[in-house]
Amino acid sequence: MNSELTAARSPNLKKSRLYKRYDYSGYAMIAPGYLIYFLFVMIPLLIGCYYSFTNYNFYKTKDFVGLSNYALLMKDTLFWKSMGNTFVYAAGTIVPQLIIGLLFAALLNMSIRGRVFARASIYLPNVLSMVAVSMIWLWIYEPSLGIANRFLETLGFGKVQWLFNPSTAMLSIILMSIWKSVGYNMIVYLAGLQSIPASLYEAAELDGASKLQQFLHVTIPMLRPTTFFLFVTACVNSFTVFEQVNIMTNGGPLNSTTTIVHQIYLRGFQDFRMGYASAMAMVLMLVVLGITILNFRFGKQGNDTDMD
């Protein structure tokens, strides 16, 4: 009787041991990723949260001040100015780069001559560092010898003080940022376009749909998951904009281009008010987190495009 019970249990014992070995090996594989995440994301986040309740100034001062930094933040007109500028930048970059990237992807997904060269040329700005791109566009926007003003002069218009006029400085940064990010959106959209089954277009063509109707009623709905992904990443990137602002305008003129991250940098690394800067960072984190949650809540992630 005991031998029969042992024989009946042995397969289950083997399976349980196999599952245990599999679980441990899986944990071992993901451990480095989690370790990096905790070391460079969670721990700095917790430290920053703690500093936001202190008057830490990079030296010996690190007294607990409660909500004083957040109270000052609510009265800081420059912080609210930077918040508004950040929203303006996000509104001016996110939708245009998605639309232009989709149009380029649709065009270069066709069998046309030179499409490989065109794809590489459009994607090239994305692999360049933001510092290098900012320096290039500083030269383009140069009032006397820049290409932008020379082009306007050939059209009969006067010169524009692109980065020195509060009404055009933010627009100038937005145009540069769109130019740099369009290539990334194009490549991701190309991958999405090439994953759409050709049978859908054949069925639409049999139903008498034109190319425009196929694009509107087949391509765009099938690219909904891709658009959702690009939109979420663009939101996060837009609200953390810093390099081009710091290099091209340093937040000017008249604080017309300063952003939240730029203000965090100034307060933390120039004024040495690290506690106050940490409070700004916590507010920014909550804003980005809230927008991301709203995107996941109302974006639907393309669930209606399943092929089942």
Domains, the chain, with CATH or none: 71-305 (1.10.3720.10)
Query: What are the tokens at 79?
Result: 């912080």
Give me the pLDDT at residue 299, please. Answer: 66
Give me the pLDDT at residue 88, please. Answer: 95
Give me the pLDDT at residue 28, please. Answer: 81
Of the candidates 46, 51, 47, the one whose C-alpha atom is nearest the C-alpha of residue 274 is: 51
Give me the pLDDT at residue 306, please. Answer: 47
- pLDDT by residue for the chain (308 residues), tens only, comes to 555 545 555 555 555 555 555 557 777 888 888 899 899 989 999 999 999 999 988 877 788 888 999 999 999 999 999 999 999 999 999 999 999 999 999 999 888 888 899 999 999 999 999 999 999 999 999 988 889 999 999 888 888 999 999 999 999 999 999 999 999 999 999 999 999 988 888 898 888 888 888 888 889 999 999 999 999 999 999 999 999 999 999 998 999 999 999 999 999 999 889 999 999 999 999 999 998 888 888 765 445 444 44
Report the alpha-carbon distance of residue 275 to residue 75 in Å, rounded: 16
Q: Helix 169-194 vs helix 77-108: angle between axes, to the nearest 10 degrees?
A: 40
Half-sphere exposure in the Cβ direction for 182 (13 Å, CA): 20
Residue with tokens 């986040």: 45
Of the candidates 208, 24, 170, the one whose C-alpha atom is nearest the C-alpha of residue 84 is: 170
Stated pTM of the model: 0.84
Give me the pLDDT at residue 11, please. Answer: 56
